[in-house]
Amino acid sequence: GESVGLHLPTLSVQEGDNSIINCAYSNSASDYFIWYKQESGKGPQFIIDIRSNMDKRQGQRVTVLLNKTVKHLSLQIAATQPGDSAVYFCAENGFQKLVFGTGTRLLVSP
């Protein structure tokens, strides 16, 4: 069946470093992916998305890369800040629902 998962449950970085969060998906027919950020005590918040006809998309301090050959998605955060500490989810926007990965916790230390 389809699944969206993450390689690492926790990622610890120093403030100012670049962070890379990875995600694997199994449904090769997926055509749209989203990254969400969830801060403690809050609901998931949209960060950035990418369509399957793209390899890369950039936002403010964030970049999403899509490798359809190996069904891999990554979120890059430049100059990571303490406010970036959160759990990050990739999600596949399937028919009538989102399919979420299990999440990666990003810890940013000063």
Partner 1 sequence: EAQVTQNPRYLITVTGKKLTVTCSQNMNHEYMSWYRQDPGLGLRQIYYSMNVEVTDKGDVPEGYKVSRKEKRNFPLILESPSPNQTSLYFCASSPSPGLAGVEQFFGPGTRLTVL
Contact set with partner 1 (CB under 8 A): 31-32, 41-46, 49, 51, 89, 93-98, 100-103
Smallest separation (angstroms) from partner 1 to the CB of 41:
7
Q: Which is nearer to partner 1, 76 or 93 (CB)?
A: 93
Minimum Å distance from CB 78 to partner 1?
22
Cα 15 to Cα 56, 80, 84, 108: the distances in Å are 24, 5, 9, 6
Q: By C-beta, is 17 or 32 nearer to partner 1? A: 32
Residue 14 or 56: the one with the smaller Cβ distance to partner 1 is 56
Q: Which residues contact 102 (CB under 8 A, 6 or more apart)?
A: 5, 6, 9, 89
Least Å distance between CB 35 and partner 1? Answer: 12
Q: Which candidate, 39, 24, 41, places its Cα nearest to that of 92?
A: 24
What does 17-43 look like in DSSP terms, one character per residue? S-EEEEEEE--TT--EEEEEEE-TTS-
The CB-of-86 to partner 1 minimum distance in angstroms stands at 13
Rank residues 63 and 93 by Cβ distance to partner 1 and give the closer one. 93
User: From the CB of residue 79, how many other CB atoms can be counted at a distance below 10 Å?
Assistant: 11
